[in-house]
Amino acid sequence: MTEKKDLLSEVERALKERYGAGEAPPPAAVPSTAQRPTRATRVDQLLLPDHQRKKMPLTKEQYLVRENPQLVLWERETRKFLRHLSPNHEHRVSAVGIYEWATGLQIKDLMQLEREGMKAERGVATWRSDLRKLNKILEFYFGKPYMTWIAGRKVAKAYKVRKGYYIYRHRPMTLTLWVDWKQGIKL
């Protein structure tokens, strides 16, 4: 029979004799000249224990959005309007109705002034842009609009508010209001 050739080097043979055949050497620590970190006493006094800390802040990239302040304002007013509706009945709401309720201005009068030549300056938000924002908010809450008649006036975009609807149970569209709503503030 042939003898087994020893394929180990002298170093490998020495390590094998030192640690035995089946044992692995203990894990080596990475050598370092750094000293153990010392904690500052001011920071120790400043930090809260883990069980007393609040919820984590919003850090997802989808939440880091710059929102239109007029959209946030109109959503707040829309939620105020919807909060005043009785949940005992169904309702039909429109952007025009909310705009007239919140501002006290009639769309009919604004249209008349526009026909007479009083136009807003370029870059200034007008009642039309406000109605677009309100329609966007209402569509978020109630879905697709439809044409109907409210109090004898033809309304091109009306939204159906079903019986038993409470606005504070539904999350806001804008993240600015969503944070308050998530904390339990009834908006």
| 105 closest CA partner among 122, 121, 127 | 127
Q: Is residue 7 part of a domain?
A: no
Q: Is residue 5 part of a domain?
A: no
Mean pLDDT of 138-158: 91
Residue 40, CA distances (Å) to 37, 46, 47 in order: 10, 10, 11
The whole domain housing 74 covers 64-182
- Considering only residues 185 and 19, tell me which one the structure prediction assigns the higher pLDDT: 185
The owner of tokens 């390590």 is 15
With 0.85 as the threshold, say if the pTM is over it.
no
Q: Is residue 52 part of a domain?
A: no
* Average pLDDT of the residues of the chain: 81
- Considering only residues 45 and 20, tell me which one the structure prediction assigns the higher pLDDT: 45
The two structure tokens encoding residue 127: 């009642």
The owner of tokens 């309100």 is 134
| 169 closest CA partner among 182, 159, 160 | 182
- Considering only residues 140 and 45, tell me which one the structure prediction assigns the higher pLDDT: 140
H or E stretch covering 160:
strand 153-161
Q: Is residue 44 part of a domain?
A: no
Q: How many domains does the chain have?
A: 1
Taking 70 as the threshold, does the pLDDT of residue 60 lie above it?
Answer: no
Phi, psi of 147 (to 5 degrees): -90, 140
pLDDT of residue 26: 57
